[in-house]
Chain A
């Protein structure tokens, strides 16, 4: 039995310009204890999936499909149950550490409140957070808690958020773009942080990132997303060292160490989706079939690919 089973999930946003298909029939499975990565450009729909899992989408979002978490469909349980899962079973480290902390409240309060709600002794909870912060190599963690968010640097905020999420001892940890906007030194710090989390806590992790090197280091398996669809899933070394899908190949070519070869063209409009393969206009291996028929997922040498080539 798989641990997290996302099955044919679609997410549409209703806007005044039309219905935007952010996530287009996504399916993947995660095993317990593994680190699963979702890779793609900005706007490919990766963050939307994390929000869909935790039911954090705004009111103009329409979600269909099923998301099974330990055999319960998260999309159909009632609000009360969902609330109990959030924070405790599934924890989300958000994309924007600065914006995710309430500027008017002390850090200590924001850390402690989940313990309150869970019914755990606040003092115990705070102690475990402090311990975790020390582990994450933060100096003077007690002082940090007495301060306000704006007094912390970006890296400190990130560690605080990571410590908070971990201390609630979730079964599944979701990390949304942990290295976004960081310079290479901070990136290394984040990498160490995640390695540490993996080693010490062994949670199952779902990592969303556009940083391919980070994914290579941390993930066991990855899925590559393009324009709301998954185009390739497999073990990280298979996918990122021996890519099957043309898009994955192009992503790797665009890395500085591979020559910074850019990918021409734009992602297709999500309001008026084209008929054939969504990558058609930018693919240099395309054929006529690609323009008219949408490819389905197929197995190829241990990897699942969505491409007419296979």
Chain B
């Protein structure tokens, strides 16, 4: 088992490193990339009149003339050891500060959404499985289809329309209190809730068809004992596997939801920075998002190992 965990850690580290490299090189290589931007921003308004000499000076200061891989190593060193992720061209603040400022908002939103999605999805999934082929089941499956197919931003807008504009129950946008959190969290959770509900239902149905459930019934155990002790844990295994992917989808979705609700998180920061060509910020946001995604997947792997004794002692 420990070997397996170790392998997963190595894999996560390698992927992370590859992501760093990929991001860095893309940023620098494509037109409009880092080097050009640095030069541009140093000479704002003066691009035409900047002399060759001045360009050379600036290039030297930012090491823009070194081969890319040296710039990369340099950038890595500064980032990891000094926490220097560059300066934002737009906000004129260190990127790290910006990240730390906006990260809590995204984490709150993501955690609340995940909570709603998991609690709602799992309970509805189990309910639908127990009521297989009855009206409730068909209704839930129909709703799931919608849940997975509706665009997140549309759900957000419709929710705003209903609950903010017409019913005036919650504020339209903003950040600071629970009221502000309700709509964005709910909007973000719909897609994952529907997916989780589906896979919980399928998994539960499959588990209930297993021989050990039949044997548990033959032993004379009561139904709720069979479900709570035998069916539930086994049915949750595939669901846990899927959670990692759902979290990734959620991080992606948060980009849009944060933008719609003007939620001050990493997602909206990313979008704004892309438009503003604030490259160091873009780089950092991507890395943070991917890092979160990989960490969550790693944790999910650990949870799975804990749940399935066949991996632990197998």
Contact = CB atoms under 8 A, between A and B. Distances in A.
Direct chain A–B contact by Cβ atoms under 8 Å? yes
Interface of A: 51, 54, 56, 83-88, 91-92, 94, 96, 99-105, 113-114, 117-118, 147-148, 150-151, 161, 164, 168
Contacts of B215: 92, 94, 100-101, 161
B309 A56 contact: no
Interface stretch (B10-18, B149-157, B221-229, B288-296): B221-229
A150 B307 CA distance: 15
Interface stretch (B121-129, B206-214, B243-251): B206-214
Nearest to B219: A87
Q: A88, A91, A100: which has the most chain B beta carbons within 10 Å?
A: A100
Contacts of B210: 99
A43 B240 CA distance: 37
Given A104-B309, A150-B314, A86 B220 contact: yes
B216 interface: yes
Q: B214, B307, B313: which has the most chain A beta carbons within 10 Å?
A: B214
Given A105-B229, A148-B310, A113 B218 contact: no
A104 B313 contact: no
A100 B212 contact: yes
Contacts of B216: 102
B217 interface: yes
B222 A117 contact: yes
Which 7 residue pairs of A and B lie closest in terms of their CB atoms, listed nearest first?
A87-B220, A99-B211, A86-B220, A100-B215, A87-B219, A92-B218, A102-B212
A250 to B, nearest CB: 31
B229 to A, nearest CB: 7
Nearest to A82: B220
Interface residues of B, number: 24
B308 interface: yes
A235 B230 CA distance: 41
A113 B313 contact: no
11 contacts: A86-B220, A87-B218, A87-B219, A87-B220, A91-B219, A99-B212, A102-B230, A113-B225, A117-B221, A150-B310, A164-B219
A96 to B, nearest CB: 5
Interface of B: 210-212, 214-222, 225, 229-230, 233-234, 237, 307-310, 313-314
A26 to B, nearest CB: 20
A151 B309 CA distance: 10
B214 A104 contact: no
B225 A117 contact: yes
Given A104-B308, A148-B309, 8 more contacts: A87-B218, A94-B211, A96-B211, A103-B309, A105-B230, A113-B221, A113-B229, A150-B313
B234 to A, nearest CB: 6
Contacts of A147: 313
Contacts of B220: 83-88, 114, 117-118
A162 to B, nearest CB: 13
B280 to A, nearest CB: 48
A164 B310 CA distance: 22
B233 to A, nearest CB: 5
A19 to B, nearest CB: 18
A45 B290 CA distance: 56
Nearest to A113: B221
Nearest to A83: B220
Nearest to B212: A102
